[in-house]
Structure 1
Amino acid sequence: MGRLIVGLTGISVAGREEYEPADSFSRRVRQRLRDEKAKDGARYYTVASAEINVLSKLGCSEEDHVLLLASDTPVGKACAELVRETVKNEFGAEGEVQPVPGLQMTDATLFRRDGVRNLFEKLRRAQAKAQELGLDFVLNMNGGFKSVLPFAALYGMTQQAPSYYSYEWTSTLIKLPALPLTFDWDRLGFAADALIALRDKGIMQAHEFEALLPGHGYRDDPLFRVLIEEDDGLVVPSAAGDLMFERLAFEASTSQVLLSPRAWRKAKGSGTEPATLEALAEIRDPLLRAKPGHCERYAGKTNLLIWKTTTGSWPRLFYWVERNGVHVAEILRHDEYDVATEGKGVWREEFDGDDFHRWE
């Protein structure tokens, strides 16, 4: 199986070459690489660049695809293109360069609010793409600004993505261990509306954010507090908050919704209400599912979880969650769910042995 190897890129490929004059930069660096290879071919990969050093140790080949995340600077983009060329020439692997907006070192606020967030987003999209294409997802931690490394490492270790690092010019390859951590969506369900609004807007007035958290003193909640930052009356996601949003997007984009034959007939039936389609789309999102629900209304009538759309009172989706996805057993319209639960109720055991089908 091939791999999608995602790497941060810096300027080590340039050696001692200055960026200016810019019009001759790439030519001068290519000459440096040729000279290094001719001087000591055995050590060439080690001295070519930090990125090439690790890729060689990972056994990069034509079966792999390499995504290079560049800083939002002219020299960063130019160096990433030179690394891409070298990857193709030396390993036969196709490469792609993607600059990360805001990832620079001259504006700390821009770096924190845009650069880190965009880095997490690009890593998440790459990981989802690898899963979609059936490729192994690997992080190459060599390269890029030193201040970016902790954020990339945090992403890889909490997302259980194999992450590799080699210190400077050494021959030792270090694999960073995965951390058995995840987000407790049920714990955050009370704040779903506020967090979703903050995710969509990126920055909010503090009073606007507080209005979506009625009766909750979130400033005194140490677990929730680490997800946001406040400054001059504004609320923005913290680095942990940005990481949470990307984890949420990854789970929502890769989660399968599986329908029982009964639910499938209703979802595919003529005249299916837009609200049903909306509910089937929303139920992928673990934070939305964690919002205070309506299960208590049906106590003694079902052992399934119940979901309704965020914009209406119907339909009701009766479901359970397993590792392979969200299993929707029953879909009941507004005029059905009270009648259905007044009788024998809706129980998971009814659907044991049913062949659930994936809903696209």
Structure 2
Amino acid sequence: MNEHGFTTSSGRFRWNEFLDAHCALHSEPFADARLTAVCLDKELIRSALVGWLSGRRSLHPVIYCLATWSLSQVSWTSPNHVKSKVQSRNRLESSAVVSAITRSPTLTSAAALLGVTATTLATRAGELGLPVARRPSVLKVECKEAIEKAFDSNLSPLAIASRLGVSVSTVYRVVRVSGQFDRRRTLIARARAKNNLDEWASLVSENTRASIQELRRQKPALFARLYRQSRGFTKCMATFSKPRPNNCRRSRVCQREFDRAIKNAQMMNGFSRSPRLSARRITQLAGISAYSLRTCSGSSRSIVTAVVEREREFVERRICEACVEMRVANLPCKRWAALRHSGMRLFRHRLLN
């Protein structure tokens, strides 16, 4: 099956293609009508071959002979992989090209003599190095000079075309031939690059103590433009971004201050109906970074483990607070009523079952 193209690149069998080719090969009936019925029954042959290939059952000798006979006679190729060969036109002879160009005053008339388009003839003449007489330009020299002068005065092509009464494509063609279009584009790119560098330098002067990452977060579009201008911008960024001085570096928190900050956060969260004292809340109350809280070790780790409230502990605390409030108000103190009085959703009660 694989040799005759009836399997895909992923190993899947092309059963429909194989069975169609098999039935087309055995279109004529056999002497025995029963053999003809078996040979043309696609479902029977497919189920028998699938069961045999998967190892679930054995294959009947008649079906094996029919499948082997078909595979020896047919094959299949995907139409997507058939390379179509298009017969190209015969190459124009150099003598015919020279004769047509010599006899005709214009390129169009020479192409008409050879029976090809003017573009084909111009390409072949360029390969042979022959001069081609194109249609003379209708635009006058004075109009070209006026277009070039107006373009140098930073007028847009649309304004130039409306002022001189020509098309916009004519203006673009004239300035591209003269090289003014490329020069203006280069000048605009240089001016934009200089403006980007000046804007970054002013940003650095306003934020002298900010790091490169902080400046990038402030002006992400500016950083992206500078990076597109020069991939090595991050290496030469020291010319604009001054390193942080030693006396301004962020001091590391010692372990004793770290432990004290965690305990203060626990005390600040000790009021009635306070939210759960999670690791994120500790970082908000104590002013500690999440990285420091994750990487702490020793006694600080044990303090964090003891202080952080689990979900079950938080629900128990809120229910106890609600029970105290309900007893003070002489209300019946049942667990579901305390949970509702605490202001939490009732499904949290499942944690306590």
Higher-helix-fraction structure: 2
**1 or 2 for the larger relative contact order (CA 8 Å, sep ≥6)?**
1
The answer to whether TM tops 0.5 is no
Higher strand share: 1
TM-score bracket relative to the smaller structure: under 0.3
Q: Which has the larger radius of gyration?
A: 2
